[in-house]
Structure 1
Amino acid sequence: MSNLSWQYIRRIGLKRDQVPTFRHYPFNLPSLRTLEELELHPKVTFFIGENGMGKSTLLEAMAVAMGFNAEGGSLNFNFSTFDSHSELADYLRVIRGIEKPQDGFFLRAESFYNVASNIEEMDAEGGAPKIIDSFGGKSLHEQSHGESFFATFIHRFRGNGIYLLDEPEAALSPLRQMSMLTRIHDLVQDNSQLIIATHSPIIMAYPDAAIYEFTEDGIHLRALEETNHYIIMKQFFDDRKRMVHRLLEE
């Protein structure tokens, strides 16, 4: 991997000697049973894999260990609508770079509604400028899920920052996912580092990145063409009729 002086997070490690047991959640997840240390790409790191492999759990724990709210937002968001995050953050070691980021955000699809609600609540309390102004000025609740998500990418992510995204494709059309590649590149050019958990082969196609695939055998560094996501999608569109026929027969 290339190295940049402004890489904010260099590695993460699991304090294995402090883990009480690997028989219970979250430490019994395949990705965590063998995790020791993971080197992050200075620009973009992707966490991919099937559901239940632990990629979102690890991303959430990283965010909490770095000081972000478990439900998302910037470092000054401290609301909680539910307390469901795991204890993994307490056992993670975050190895930081020399430079400190000037901006940061943890964006997750499943709790973005709660972030939008918290913004409205804080703005209703008064004060200027309004928080929503940094998200484009239009209420996130008055936009579709995809529009509000994309407004956050475009307006709130200022650059010179660390950004953690959990399955952003959940709210984005394929065309918007392609547009997201452009925005990722803009942020990277502006001294930003991104860590993204995703199922989208479009998003993980960003070229200057590391792709870690979470499997039953642990975490493995992959090329895009080696990932199950890419292989399955390619097989489907190369022989769509035959595959659909087989699926419907089964």
Structure 2
Amino acid sequence: MIYLNSFRFPSETMEINFTTDIRRTCYDSFYPFNILSRYEFERIDLAPITILYGGNGSGKTTALNIIAEKTGIKRDSIFNKTNFYNDYLEMCFMEIERDIPENSRIITSDDVFDYMLNIRNLNEGIDLKRDELLDEYMDTKYSKFMLKSLDDYEQLKKVNSARRKTQSRFVRDSLMDNVRELSNGENAFRYFTEKIGEDGFFILDEPENSLSPKRQVELVRFIEDSARFFGCQFLISTHSPFLLAIKNAKIYDLDSNPVEVKKWTELENVRTYYEFFKRFEDEF
């Protein structure tokens, strides 16, 4: 499925014309200007699955954030913005094949990490409340309580409840269970499967973070199926050879100047993996 057909970033000439007028000011950063143009990255034509590949500082995340802001899709985590961000967005142009669905979103590493931390903090809060209820049970059950007025009625019900129930039953009836505890990788994978629904445009910024190789392979299968059968379009930044090998993905190499579309087997990162395992082939 194609929702976003193409996207154009400002050319180097457009950026120079804009920044020349403001260079005499006190600003020392014009981000996101002068990031993508230095690699002559001016246009991206999207497939059902499009991947941006490149080393740190190549502009992958910048490009994803710009496209996410211009398309207006949902996002959770904040990101780096400057005074010139809106000026840059006004210079960008996009061609829409179909209306971008409302459930479309960008998913970043920060989103996944926050999700895992929230689960951990929730369980820690439940554990703390459990300890408090255990103490409350003992104090309530063996207290010398006497009903003096209707104001004491709620406390009377609590005392009677504690005296009728075992300690464990008292706590279970008063407290929700812990959220099922999974590994970080399992929680990260679950986050993607919960947030990526049918018929949507999804931007994933280095989704391999926190995922083991096995989980990355599962995510690849999930992405391929979502694009093929469930009306989804993906724009992904990654270093992972597992994600780079996604079937029929269109890959832009941001390490080349100018930026080029390449096969995954031509990428430097993948070649490094290949040469490493080839050197130790006899040990497998």
Asked if TM exceeds 0.5, the reply is: yes
Alignment-derived partner of residue 2 in structure 2: 7
Q: What's the secondary structure of 1:168's corresponding residue?
A: coil
Give me the whole-angstrom Cα distance separating, in 2, the residues matched to 1:221 and 1:58.
16
SS of 2:220's equivalent?
helix
Structure 1 position 209 matched with structure 2 position 249: yes
Map 1:154-193 → 2, pairs under 5 A: 154-188=193-227, 189-193=229-233
Superposed CA RMSD in Å reads: 3.0
SS at match of 2:104: strand
Q: Which stretch has the larger CA shift, 46-55 or 25-34?
A: 25-34
Change (3 A) 1:26 1:240: farther
Deviation of residue 34 (structure 1)? 1.5
Name the SS for the 1:230 alignment partner. Answer: helix
Q: Gaps spanning 5+ residues in structure 1: where?
A: 1-5, 74-78, 120-137, 242-250
Alignment of 1:77-92 (within 5 A): 80=78, 84-85=80-81, 87=85, 88-92=88-92
Q: Secondary structure at the match of 2:219?
A: helix
Give the match's secondary structure for 1:94: strand
SS at match of 2:98: coil
**What CA distance in whole angstroms lies between the structure 2 residues aligned with 1:175 and 1:31?**
36
Number of matched residues? 208
Q: Which shifted more, 109-118 or 231-240?
A: 109-118
Structure 1 equivalent of residue 275 of structure 2: 235
SS at structure 1 position matched to 2:5: strand
Matched, 1:65 2:104: no
Q: Verify the 8 A CA contact 2:39 2:259 in the aligned structure 1.
A: no
In structure 1, the partner of 2:58 is 53
Q: Deviations over 1:28-52 (max 9, x none)?
A: 23555523221111x1000001111
After TM superposition, give the deviation of residue 118 of structure 1 in Å. 8.9
Distance of aligned partners of 1:49 and 1:109 in 2 relative to their CA distance in 1, 3 Å threshold: same
Asked whether the 8 Å contact 1:169–1:200 carries over to 2, the reply is yes
How far apart, CA to CA, are the structure 2 residues paired with 1:143 and 1:31?
Answer: 43
Aligned to 2:112: 112
TM-score of the aligned structures, taking structure 2 as reference length: 0.64
Percent identity (aligned)? 26
Indicate which of 28, 36, 42 corresponds to 2:42: 36
Deviations 1:100-130 (A, max 9, x none): 32521211113434467899xxxxxxxxxxx
* Partner SS, residue 180 of structure 1: helix
C-alpha displacement of 1:154: 1.7
Distance across 1 between alignment mates of 2:72 and 2:117: 20
Q: 1:51 is aligned with what amino acid? A: N
Aligned residue for 2:33, secondary structure, equals coil
Structure having the higher helix fraction is 2
> Cα offset for 1:85?
3.1
Larger CA deviation: 164-173 vs 208-217: 208-217
**Per the alignment, do residues 207 and 28 of structure 1 end up closer, same or farther by CA in structure 2, a change over 3 Å counting?**
same
TM-score when normalising by structure 1: 0.72
Structure 2, gaps ≥5 residues long: 21-28, 120-177
1:208 & 1:219 partners in 2: Cα distance? 19
- 8 Å CA contact retained: 1:30, 1:217: no
